[in-house]
Structure 1
Amino acid sequence: MDQGARSGVRPRWVWSDTAAWLPQLLAAGVRVMRCHDLRLSHAILQRSILVPDRRALAAAIQWEAESVVPAIATAPTLFDAETVSGGSRSVPHDLDPALEEFERQQTALAAAKDPGKLRFLLAAESAGALAAAEMEAAGVPWDAAEHDRLLEEELGPRPARGEKPSRMLAVAEEVRAALGDPRASLDSAPKLLRALRAAGIDVKSTSRWELAEHEHPAIAPLLHYKKLSRLHTANGWAWIDEWVREGRYRPVYVPGGVVTGRWASSGGGALQLPRQLRPALRADPGWTLVTADVAQLEPRVLAAMSGDRAMAAAGAAKDLYAGVVDSGAVQSRDEAKIAVLGAMYGATTGDSGRLVPRLRRSYPAAMALVDHAAALGEQGGVVSTRLGRSSPEPDNAWRELQARASMPGATSRDEDQARRAAREFGRFTRNFVVQGTAAEWALSWIAELRLQLAKFEPAGVPAPASGPVFERAPHLVFFLHDEIIVHTPQECATEVAAAVEAAAVTAGRRLFGSAPVDFPLDLKIAERSVKD
């Protein structure tokens, strides 16, 4: 049960690293509703430009280590630091250094320019860490037999260990025949590149995007081979053997694993789960899946951040890209998508370069926000998200390029390299403010939904003898940037779906107040998770 639930008080636990402590508590039947993760909070505060004096945080370099997931403790006390086998890169788990770091963080927050925003960000980041550990403990309900069937449908029968599936081998022969090279290696990029050029296909890389631009009998089967190879390598039979146990797939999430605040994954590939395998996500008998994802999250975040009422109106209760078309800025939905993504990612050539100027006329406030962020980056500056997560500064190599270009006697090559590096960093900061704030919205959504799901009474099934305390009630099992999946008893699926939608509304209000921006969800209740 949740510690403190009997008295009606739910404390906020302060600890070194959620990934190190929470699995032990979940295994013991204890649920923690709130925490302050010192490692994740340190990473935010020691970089945030909202904190005017970060010297004390910067000096505490031991708190900049990566998260290391420990083995399950066997010592008699849950909070014995010696039971946490964090390894050489782990943060300190002893009480005294944790208290010292907590005091440093509280001092930094007290002096911050907008402490309310930062406190909310730290709370959301810590709640995300709780959710990540819980999702790993709960696991995604996974139909390994269906996964096997889908693989056979695409690749052919399961091959012997170390061998390639029959369909891959057959498609490879098609490619070699079209290239006129029976020995062409398709799995080595340098060798494949040589074979393509020898066949008259003038390419600089073997990326599918560049290959698709060429017309040659070898291109279609080669793209097919690459698709089959990715499936076999990333999510094939070896993946099932390693990651699926007792009907559960347990990816290892890394909250804050990307500098923008987006999550990463250190195992299982949850953030690259291919659409074709979605039917393998199957609810347990008597349960169902509530799946929800946000339509055009980043453009909507841009509209809300910038206060661009025209862009907000384009997405009001409808597809935002269709709204951009209706506004007259572009002619088609495809053009709208290219233009908006180009604006956020700094594309200056091709269709994006042609269409982005139209957005500047139609949505001046939104464009001004990302243009300003890009300009700061080009000058080596730092930008921040809505809640105060700040971008890293450019590295020494970048600064050396800029310094060399500004010195007397600098060559045109020096100047070109410096300009390219400046533009590249400007593209990074341009996207950082939007992607980072979108990550904050998603964290807020998860944090609120997690609290709402905790209010549901356990289903009428026996409690597990051990393991996650939340297994009898609706719980999060999957997260991917702008999508969540809840595993829920069928009898409360409709209420859970309503909670998912309400949490999205709350997340928007907490980040953007009364900004007139909708965050509509594509929401489904089904036994299997299948994306359109």
Structure 2
Amino acid sequence: MTGRTAEGEVALVDLGPDGSRGAPQVVEPSGLLAAVAHREAHAAELGSAPPRWVWSDAPAWYPGLLASGTRVQRCHDLRLVHTVLRHSQLVQDKVAAEIRAAEQWDVPVHPGTEQQSVGATLFDMDGGSPTRGGVPQRIEAALEEFDRQQRAIDGSKDPARLRLLVAAESAGALIAVELQAAGIPWDVAEHDRILTADLGPRPRPGHTPALMVEVAAQVREALGDPMLSLDSPVKLLRALHRAGIDVRSTSRWELAEHQHPAIQPLLRYKKMARLLTANGWAWMDEWVHEGRYRPVYVPGGVVTGRWASSGGGALQIPRQLRPALRADPGWRLVSADVSQLEPRVLAAMAGDRAMARAGAGTDLYAGIVAAGVVATRQEAKVGVLGALYGGTAGDSGRIVPRLRRTFPDAMRLVDQAAETGERGGTVSTLLGRSSPPPDPAWTSAQLHSHRPEAGTAEQDRARRSARDRGRFTRNFVVQGTAAEWALSWMAALRLALASFDEVPLDQAAHASGPVFSRRAHLAFFLHDEVIVHAPASQADAAARAIRESADAAGRLLFPGSPVDFPLDLVITERSSAK
């Protein structure tokens, strides 16, 4: 275990498999580097299991190790594990209460939105604070929390499931730090070309690109308001009303339903404004350096276990910018995404063999069409998404009943999850991540709506609120389990890539840093997609590793299930705007 003394010095404590522990050993930051490197190398030489590093949270400890050329295979991330255990229905009530009482571990730690330098070292931590973002780094606090977590897991209703979830979550913590350290190869010239084509040449600071100015003028002319500020939703809404366009908001979805000369240029302007604000030249200046885009990933940043991003917007890169992802010379991008991940996870969780057959070796939506449920692939997609997200109107409402008849086991699983949520209950993923309970205001509103004196409006609000929670829990079980599958996929792939030989120094992708510059490594992740940056000589092997890791994840989570998880995989020098 790594932690800090009261004086802020780095301390190490050996934890034995029998629960024994050594005395804290105070080391210099450089001593920690040497200790980590030695123990990792010693385990590799002996062919024994690598050490598992227990620490407060990976972003506090791991970047400096990577920057100094030291990589670890395993960790136990106390912050992430605490978040899982405090809500999990698998944890016994008494121990869960102890976990929740340790409120100092509840503060979500999102790594700073400032870009971390790859050259940062552990020496920057010397004399640092014994807390980070509210999470303790004191060695005593870490030991106490680790003991609580071990009691919670060992005494749970299903320790094996929780141990697998904890291992996957902690592997994700390492992967997130490694993704930022390695970075995504990014072609600044191509990015500038795309911006120039879509917005006009880069303007002077404080000015609007030329093409945006032209489109804005078209909108103002169509609305008869030459001084209108298109970036003010209030003023824009008033101008739309004056022009006879009856909309309640300026959302592009609502605007698209109306016919008026101002609508198309306005929709184009809004798209241009989003690109400029989210991924324009200022974004490129801030987040792309030395040929690498290094966003800040937040594992478990979404309540279902999905990842989020607290800087750089890695999970919102628009497709039109994908061509800016370009491999270094002599390297390749190996991209893979899973076809219909969530529906396949649902079929595997529910043991629905009819749904498994529909997707076996083919596009699942096409398989649903072939099964005679609907006439078109689009209808199949709308119906399945309606089943996952609780769609009850329009095409979803028409198709979902057909899915219930054809895939009863799968539909029963999500329907029961929705019913549990509507009653105020909690649901869990396959490995034991549980949804948080409803807040007291929700519970109070539901109780009050059942009083004899409750009015119709109050009852209607309570019913809508109950249905909203049901839609949340319906999707929680599937989206959360899909996140677990993706973590298992990446964890297996990470270890497989780490076993690749290093390429000669003259073939290195130096901007990827000391750990990743000479072998294939993960460079990007988005829910159901990964991109590996690989030397050209290792690209085919990386592709095999991606497929084998996906198969392994399926066997690990759903042993014996006939459900497969096919990949759309491509090896290329430049990502495409799919």
Give the structure-2-normalised TM-score.
Answer: 0.89
8 Å CA contact 2:111–2:296 kept in 1: the answer is no
The offset of 1:73, in angstroms, is 12
Query: Which residue identity lines up with residue 451 of structure 2 in the other structure?
Result: M
The offset of 1:349, in angstroms, is 1.0
1:519 aligns with 2:559: no
Question: What RMSD, in angstroms, separates the aligned Cα atoms of the two structures?
Answer: 2.0
With over 3 angstroms needed to count, the CA separation of the structure-2 counterparts of 1:73 and 1:170, relative to structure 1, is closer
SS of residue paired to 2:515: coil
1:353-380 per-residue CA deviation (whole Å, 9 max, x = no partner) reads: 1111111111111111110000000000
Q: Distance in 1 between matches of 2:209 and 2:394?
A: 39
Query: Which residue identity lines up with residue 126 of structure 1 in the other structure?
Result: S
Number of aligned positions between the proteins = 531
8 Å CA contact 1:50–1:112 kept in 2: the answer is yes
| 1:36-47 → structure 2 map (5 Å cutoff) | 36-47=76-87
Q: Distance in 2 between matches of 1:294 and 1:465?
A: 29
Match of 2:47 among 4, 8, 16: 8
With over 3 angstroms needed to count, the CA separation of the structure-2 counterparts of 1:40 and 1:205, relative to structure 1, is same
Q: Distance in 2 between matches of 1:270 and 1:414?
A: 41
| 1:54-65 → structure 2 map (5 Å cutoff) | 54-65=96-107
1:18 aligns with 2:63: no
Q: Distance in 2 between matches of 1:187 and 1:300?
A: 42
| 1:328-339 → structure 2 map (5 Å cutoff) | 328-339=372-383
The offset of 1:424, in angstroms, is 0.4
1:440 aligns with 2:511: no
Q: Distance in 1 between matches of 2:45 and 2:215?
A: 62
| 1:25-36 → structure 2 map (5 Å cutoff) | 25-36=65-76
Give the structure-1-normalised TM-score.
Answer: 0.96
1:266-321 per-residue CA deviation (whole Å, 9 max, x = no partner) reads: 00010000000011001111111100000111111111111111111111111111
Q: Distance in 2 between matches of 1:440 and 1:349?
A: 30
With over 3 angstroms needed to count, the CA separation of the structure-2 counterparts of 1:47 and 1:79, relative to structure 1, is farther
Q: Distance in 1 between matches of 2:577 and 2:352?
A: 31
Q: Which runs of 5+ in 2 are unaligned?
A: 1-36
Map of 1:259 onto structure 2: 303
1:244-279 per-residue CA deviation (whole Å, 9 max, x = no partner) reads: 000000000000000000000000010000000011
Match of 2:525 among 479, 488, 504: 479
8 Å CA contact 1:73–1:84 kept in 2: the answer is no
SS of residue paired to 2:569: strand
Q: Distance in 1 between matches of 2:107 and 2:519?
A: 35
Query: Which residue identity lines up with residue 353 of structure 2 in the other structure?
Result: R
Match of 2:399 among 355, 358, 373: 355
1:391-410 per-residue CA deviation (whole Å, 9 max, x = no partner) reads: 01111221121122122311
Q: Distance in 1 between matches of 2:371 and 2:177?
A: 44
| 1:152-191 → structure 2 map (5 Å cutoff) | 152-191=196-235
1:499 aligns with 2:541: no
- Percent identity reads 63
Match of 2:109 among 58, 67, 91: 67
Map of 2:9 onto structure 1: none
8 Å CA contact 1:28–1:467 kept in 2: the answer is no
Task: Name the stretch that deviates more: 458-467 or 173-182.
Answer: 458-467
Match of 2:465 among 421, 434, 445: 421
With over 3 angstroms needed to count, the CA separation of the structure-2 counterparts of 1:335 and 1:526, relative to structure 1, is same
Q: Which runs of 5+ in 1 are unaligned?
A: none
With over 3 angstroms needed to count, the CA separation of the structure-2 counterparts of 1:432 and 1:283, relative to structure 1, is same
1:422-472 per-residue CA deviation (whole Å, 9 max, x = no partner) reads: 000000000001110110010000000000001101111157699442321
8 Å CA contact 1:81–1:94 kept in 2: the answer is no
8 Å CA contact 1:20–1:84 kept in 2: the answer is no
8 Å CA contact 1:27–1:466 kept in 2: the answer is no
Q: Distance in 1 between matches of 2:255 and 2:512?
A: 52
Q: Distance in 2 between matches of 1:19 and 1:320?
A: 38
Q: Distance in 2 between matches of 1:259 and 1:177?
A: 45
With over 3 angstroms needed to count, the CA separation of the structure-2 counterparts of 1:211 and 1:446, relative to structure 1, is same
SS of residue paired to 2:135: coil
1:451 aligns with 2:490: no
8 Å CA contact 1:29–1:466 kept in 2: the answer is no
The offset of 1:181, in angstroms, is 2.2
| 1:54-203 → structure 2 map (5 Å cutoff) | 54-69=96-111, 82-83=127-128, 87=132, 89-203=133-247
The offset of 1:80, in angstroms, is 6.8
| 1:302-451 → structure 2 map (5 Å cutoff) | 302-451=346-495
8 Å CA contact 1:23–1:72 kept in 2: the answer is no
8 Å CA contact 2:338–2:567 kept in 1: the answer is yes
SS of residue paired to 1:31: coil
8 Å CA contact 1:3–1:31 kept in 2: the answer is no
1:274 aligns with 2:314: no
Q: Distance in 2 between matches of 1:465 and 1:215?
A: 50
SS of residue paired to 1:101: helix
8 Å CA contact 2:55–2:77 kept in 1: the answer is yes
Q: Distance in 2 between matches of 1:229 and 1:126?
A: 38
8 Å CA contact 2:290–2:511 kept in 1: the answer is no
SS of residue paired to 1:530: coil
SS of residue paired to 1:476: strand
Q: Distance in 1 between matches of 2:512 and 2:130?
A: 22
Q: Distance in 2 between matches of 1:436 and 1:531?
A: 28
The offset of 1:184, in angstroms, is 2.6
8 Å CA contact 1:280–1:528 kept in 2: the answer is yes
Q: Distance in 2 between matches of 1:74 and 1:141?
A: 17
Task: Name the stretch that deviates more: 326-335 or 458-467.
Answer: 458-467
